[in-house]
Amino acid sequence: MKQLVIILLIFNFYLAESSYAQEIATLKYGGGGDWYANPTGLPNLIKFCNQQLRTTIDPKPQTVEVGSSNIFQYPFIHMTGHGNIFFSEEEAENLRTYLLAGGFLHIDDNYGMEPYLRKELAKVFPDRELTELGADHPIFSQQFQFPKGLPKIHEHDGKRPQAFGIFEQNRLILLFTFESDLGDGWEDPEVHNDPQDVRLKALQMGANIISYVFKS
Protein backbone atom coordinates (compact mmCIF):
# COMPACT_ATOMS: atom_id res chain seq x y z
CA MET A 1 0.00 0.00 0.00
CA LYS A 2 2.80 2.42 0.86
CA GLN A 3 4.37 1.77 -2.55
CA LEU A 4 1.08 2.59 -4.30
CA VAL A 5 0.74 5.86 -2.39
CA ILE A 6 4.26 6.88 -3.43
CA ILE A 7 3.51 6.08 -7.06
CA LEU A 8 0.29 8.09 -6.97
CA LEU A 9 2.30 11.05 -5.72
CA ILE A 10 4.68 10.56 -8.66
CA PHE A 11 1.71 10.61 -11.05
CA ASN A 12 0.51 13.91 -9.59
CA PHE A 13 4.01 15.41 -9.69
CA TYR A 14 4.48 14.73 -13.39
CA LEU A 15 1.03 16.03 -14.25
CA ALA A 16 1.75 19.24 -12.38
CA GLU A 17 5.22 19.74 -13.87
CA SER A 18 4.31 19.09 -17.51
CA SER A 19 3.66 22.04 -19.82
CA TYR A 20 0.65 20.03 -20.99
CA ALA A 21 -2.18 18.87 -18.73
CA GLN A 22 -1.87 15.31 -19.99
CA GLU A 23 0.75 13.12 -21.64
CA ILE A 24 0.34 9.69 -23.18
CA ALA A 25 2.82 7.10 -24.41
CA THR A 26 3.22 4.04 -26.59
CA LEU A 27 4.28 0.87 -24.78
CA LYS A 28 7.46 -0.78 -26.04
CA TYR A 29 7.55 -4.50 -25.28
CA GLY A 30 9.77 -7.47 -26.06
CA GLY A 31 9.12 -10.68 -27.94
CA GLY A 32 9.60 -9.45 -31.49
CA GLY A 33 6.14 -7.99 -32.10
CA ASP A 34 5.87 -4.64 -33.88
CA TRP A 35 5.02 -2.43 -30.90
CA TYR A 36 5.77 0.56 -33.17
CA ALA A 37 2.91 -0.17 -35.62
CA ASN A 38 0.56 2.61 -36.77
CA PRO A 39 3.09 5.44 -36.23
CA THR A 40 0.71 8.21 -37.37
CA GLY A 41 -2.24 6.84 -35.41
CA LEU A 42 -1.69 8.13 -31.90
CA PRO A 43 -0.59 11.64 -32.99
CA ASN A 44 -3.75 11.92 -35.11
CA LEU A 45 -5.92 10.78 -32.20
CA ILE A 46 -4.28 13.34 -29.91
CA LYS A 47 -4.91 16.10 -32.47
CA PHE A 48 -8.54 15.03 -32.78
CA CYS A 49 -9.02 15.00 -28.99
CA ASN A 50 -7.38 18.39 -28.52
CA GLN A 51 -9.70 19.83 -31.17
CA GLN A 52 -12.94 18.03 -30.34
CA LEU A 53 -12.67 17.50 -26.59
CA ARG A 54 -10.52 20.54 -25.79
CA THR A 55 -7.98 18.33 -24.08
CA THR A 56 -4.44 19.62 -23.77
CA ILE A 57 -2.49 16.46 -24.51
CA ASP A 58 1.13 16.79 -25.62
CA PRO A 59 0.89 16.36 -29.43
CA LYS A 60 3.98 14.14 -29.46
CA PRO A 61 3.36 10.81 -27.72
CA GLN A 62 6.35 9.32 -25.96
CA THR A 63 7.65 5.75 -25.92
CA VAL A 64 8.03 3.89 -22.64
CA GLU A 65 9.30 0.38 -21.91
CA VAL A 66 7.24 -2.04 -19.84
CA GLY A 67 9.83 -2.37 -17.09
CA SER A 68 10.82 1.28 -16.90
CA SER A 69 10.05 3.50 -13.91
CA ASN A 70 9.18 6.18 -16.46
CA ILE A 71 5.88 4.37 -17.02
CA PHE A 72 4.53 6.23 -13.99
CA GLN A 73 4.81 9.55 -15.81
CA TYR A 74 1.86 8.65 -18.04
CA PRO A 75 -1.73 8.16 -16.87
CA PHE A 76 -2.60 6.67 -20.29
CA ILE A 77 -0.50 4.17 -22.25
CA HIS A 78 -1.32 2.69 -25.64
CA MET A 79 -0.15 -0.70 -26.86
CA THR A 80 -0.52 -2.26 -30.31
CA GLY A 81 1.07 -4.70 -32.74
CA HIS A 82 0.55 -7.82 -34.83
CA GLY A 83 2.74 -10.52 -33.34
CA ASN A 84 4.54 -11.93 -30.34
CA ILE A 85 4.65 -10.27 -26.93
CA PHE A 86 6.84 -11.13 -23.97
CA PHE A 87 6.91 -9.68 -20.44
CA SER A 88 9.56 -10.73 -17.96
CA GLU A 89 8.37 -11.29 -14.40
CA GLU A 90 9.87 -7.92 -13.42
CA GLU A 91 8.11 -6.17 -16.30
CA ALA A 92 4.81 -7.83 -15.43
CA GLU A 93 5.15 -6.69 -11.83
CA ASN A 94 5.98 -3.14 -12.93
CA LEU A 95 2.95 -3.02 -15.23
CA ARG A 96 0.68 -4.44 -12.53
CA THR A 97 1.88 -1.83 -10.03
CA TYR A 98 1.33 0.94 -12.61
CA LEU A 99 -2.24 -0.14 -13.30
CA LEU A 100 -3.20 -0.65 -9.66
CA ALA A 101 -1.73 2.77 -8.81
CA GLY A 102 -4.09 4.58 -11.18
CA GLY A 103 -2.60 4.08 -14.65
CA PHE A 104 -4.54 2.90 -17.69
CA LEU A 105 -3.50 0.67 -20.58
CA HIS A 106 -5.34 0.52 -23.90
CA ILE A 107 -4.32 -2.47 -26.03
CA ASP A 108 -5.47 -2.41 -29.64
CA ASP A 109 -4.97 -5.67 -31.52
CA ASN A 110 -3.61 -4.74 -34.93
CA TYR A 111 -4.38 -8.34 -35.93
CA GLY A 112 -2.58 -11.40 -34.62
CA MET A 113 -1.47 -10.37 -31.13
CA GLU A 114 -4.40 -11.77 -29.14
CA PRO A 115 -3.09 -15.28 -28.24
CA TYR A 116 0.29 -13.90 -27.17
CA LEU A 117 -1.32 -11.08 -25.22
CA ARG A 118 -3.53 -13.35 -23.16
CA LYS A 119 -0.53 -15.44 -22.14
CA GLU A 120 1.42 -12.38 -20.96
CA LEU A 121 -1.54 -10.76 -19.21
CA ALA A 122 -1.73 -13.91 -17.10
CA LYS A 123 1.66 -12.88 -15.70
CA VAL A 124 0.43 -9.37 -14.93
CA PHE A 125 -2.84 -10.50 -13.32
CA PRO A 126 -2.76 -14.25 -12.63
CA ASP A 127 -5.95 -13.95 -10.58
CA ARG A 128 -8.04 -12.04 -13.15
CA GLU A 129 -9.42 -12.59 -16.61
CA LEU A 130 -10.44 -10.30 -19.43
CA THR A 131 -14.16 -9.53 -19.21
CA GLU A 132 -16.17 -8.44 -22.23
CA LEU A 133 -17.70 -4.98 -21.93
CA GLY A 134 -21.36 -4.63 -22.78
CA ALA A 135 -22.58 -1.93 -25.14
CA ASP A 136 -24.01 -0.14 -22.10
CA HIS A 137 -20.57 0.50 -20.61
CA PRO A 138 -20.00 4.27 -20.24
CA ILE A 139 -16.89 4.16 -22.43
CA PHE A 140 -19.26 3.89 -25.41
CA SER A 141 -21.29 6.95 -24.45
CA GLN A 142 -18.82 9.69 -23.65
CA GLN A 143 -18.61 12.58 -26.12
CA PHE A 144 -19.66 10.27 -28.95
CA GLN A 145 -22.39 7.62 -28.91
CA PHE A 146 -21.78 3.99 -29.87
CA PRO A 147 -25.03 2.25 -28.90
CA LYS A 148 -23.86 -1.05 -30.39
CA GLY A 149 -20.50 -0.95 -28.64
CA LEU A 150 -17.08 -1.14 -30.28
CA PRO A 151 -17.15 -0.19 -33.99
CA LYS A 152 -15.68 -2.37 -36.73
CA ILE A 153 -12.89 -0.51 -38.57
CA HIS A 154 -10.99 -3.19 -40.50
CA GLU A 155 -12.22 -6.59 -41.59
CA HIS A 156 -9.94 -9.58 -41.04
CA ASP A 157 -11.71 -12.81 -40.14
CA GLY A 158 -15.37 -11.87 -40.27
CA LYS A 159 -15.53 -11.79 -36.48
CA ARG A 160 -17.45 -9.20 -34.50
CA PRO A 161 -15.50 -6.46 -32.72
CA GLN A 162 -15.14 -6.97 -28.98
CA ALA A 163 -13.96 -4.82 -26.10
CA PHE A 164 -12.52 -6.59 -23.06
CA GLY A 165 -11.45 -5.12 -19.75
CA ILE A 166 -9.69 -5.79 -16.48
CA PHE A 167 -11.09 -4.02 -13.42
CA GLU A 168 -9.88 -2.93 -10.01
CA GLN A 169 -12.72 -2.21 -7.58
CA ASN A 170 -15.09 -1.41 -10.47
CA ARG A 171 -12.49 0.85 -12.13
CA LEU A 172 -11.55 -0.14 -15.67
CA ILE A 173 -7.76 -0.21 -15.66
CA LEU A 174 -7.09 -2.09 -18.90
CA LEU A 175 -9.02 -2.06 -22.18
CA PHE A 176 -8.35 -4.58 -24.95
CA THR A 177 -10.00 -3.80 -28.29
CA PHE A 178 -10.17 -6.89 -30.52
CA GLU A 179 -11.26 -7.44 -34.14
CA SER A 180 -11.78 -3.70 -34.56
CA ASP A 181 -8.37 -2.24 -35.47
CA LEU A 182 -9.00 1.26 -34.16
CA GLY A 183 -5.35 2.23 -34.68
CA ASP A 184 -5.58 1.65 -38.43
CA GLY A 185 -8.48 4.07 -38.53
CA TRP A 186 -6.47 6.69 -36.67
CA GLU A 187 -3.67 6.67 -39.22
CA ASP A 188 -3.20 9.19 -42.02
CA PRO A 189 -5.89 8.71 -44.72
CA GLU A 190 -3.46 7.52 -47.39
CA VAL A 191 -2.06 4.70 -45.24
CA HIS A 192 -5.09 2.41 -45.43
CA ASN A 193 -7.39 4.41 -47.75
CA ASP A 194 -10.27 4.08 -45.32
CA PRO A 195 -13.41 6.09 -46.11
CA GLN A 196 -13.73 9.28 -44.10
CA ASP A 197 -16.76 7.99 -42.17
CA VAL A 198 -14.79 4.91 -41.06
CA ARG A 199 -11.83 7.00 -39.94
CA LEU A 200 -14.20 9.30 -38.07
CA LYS A 201 -15.75 6.39 -36.18
CA ALA A 202 -12.28 5.18 -35.17
CA LEU A 203 -11.23 8.64 -33.98
CA GLN A 204 -14.48 9.18 -32.11
CA MET A 205 -14.16 5.84 -30.32
CA GLY A 206 -10.55 6.66 -29.48
CA ALA A 207 -11.68 10.04 -28.14
CA ASN A 208 -14.23 8.28 -25.95
CA ILE A 209 -11.47 6.14 -24.47
CA ILE A 210 -9.33 9.20 -23.77
CA SER A 211 -12.30 11.05 -22.29
CA TYR A 212 -13.24 8.11 -20.06
CA VAL A 213 -9.71 7.75 -18.74
CA PHE A 214 -9.11 11.39 -17.91
CA LYS A 215 -12.54 11.82 -16.32
CA SER A 216 -12.24 8.73 -14.12
Measured CA distances, 137 to 51, 55, 147 (Å): 25, 22, 10
Residues 130-139 have pLDDT tens digits of 999 999 999 9
19 pLDDT above the threshold of 80:
no
pLDDT number for residue 192 = 84
> Which residue would you say has higher pLDDT here, 147 or 3?
147
Q: How far apart are CA 99 and CA 206, in angstroms?
A: 19
168 pLDDT above the threshold of 90:
yes
CA–centroid distance for 150 within its chain? 14
38 pLDDT above the threshold of 50:
yes
Residues 41-99 have pLDDT tens digits of 999 999 999 999 999 999 999 999 999 999 999 999 999 999 999 999 999 999 999 99
pLDDT number for residue 158 = 81
Residues 113-126 have pLDDT tens digits of 999 999 999 999 99
